[in-house]
Amino acid sequence: MGKNRDVLVIGLGRFGRPLAESLESQGHDVLGVDIDLDRIRSCSDVLTRVVQADARDQEALHQIGAADFPIAVVAIGTDLEASMSATFALSELKVPSIWARALTEEHGEMLRRIGASRVVFPERAMGIRVAHSLIGRALDYVALEDGFVIVETTAPRAAQGTPLAELSTRQKFRVNVLCVKRPGERFVQAMPDTVINADDILLVAGLEKDAEEFARQP
């Protein structure tokens, strides 16, 4: 497997373990690291490569080959000192891309200052995602950048029974219908001649206010 698909995941708790499992299922070569031996044992059945190590120790990271990874994720939870020490150690080892989990804005700012390429707030992001999913017909919600979002939603009546080319969702609703999922089928790319049915699920992209307005349509 190519080196550019290698990912180092430090911290195999409630965030790090499912992250590592998902990355591996997508074909990435993942090395999971945790200081807790019980976690290492529990993850050994679901991850191909796991190792016990203290990620606060730069030499320990060097010994497991951390410097050879193009991407590292510091997924440590509530131990802020360990989170920051691991991020700094990875930065000192010149890991090109370091993603770090933060609990607060202050924590995130400190992580950026000591070398994190990108800071993520999974708990906050999930709260926002759930809140937006409660709106109208929305089933799921993913925020991108600059106010742009993708919303999974059921089809409003105003969009049913008309080919997308005639519906002109860009002009009428200021959103793009990306994909359509029929009952019992997978998502497929929406085409100009796609006709939306009442029981379809849609993936819609647009600015947050426009996508939410679309999801509120009866």
> Residue 144 has what pLDDT?
72
CB 184 within 8 A of CB 208: no
> Residue 26 has what pLDDT?
84
Alpha-carbon gap, residue 39 to 19, rounded angstroms: 14
Q: Which residues of the chain have pLDDT under 50?
A: 1-2
Provide the token pair at 190.
């929406």
In CATH terms, 3-120 corresponds, of 2.60.40.10, 3.40.50.300, 3.40.605.10, 3.40.50.720, to 3.40.50.720
> Residue 141 has what pLDDT?
67
CB 142 within 8 A of CB 149: yes
Q: For 98-119, what is each residue's pLDDT tens digit?
A: 999 988 889 989 999 999 999 9
Rg, C-alpha atoms of the chain = 21
Task: Provide the CATH number for the domain formed by 125-216 in this structure.
Answer: 3.30.70.1450
Q: Tokens 């990620």 label which residue? A: 55
- Amino acid present at 90: L
> Residue 215 has what pLDDT?
80
Domains of the chain, residue spans: 3-120, 125-216
| The model scores a pTM over 0.75 | no
> Residue 66 has what pLDDT?
96
The backbone torsions φ and ψ at residue 121, rounded to the nearest 5 degrees and listed phi first, read -120, 80
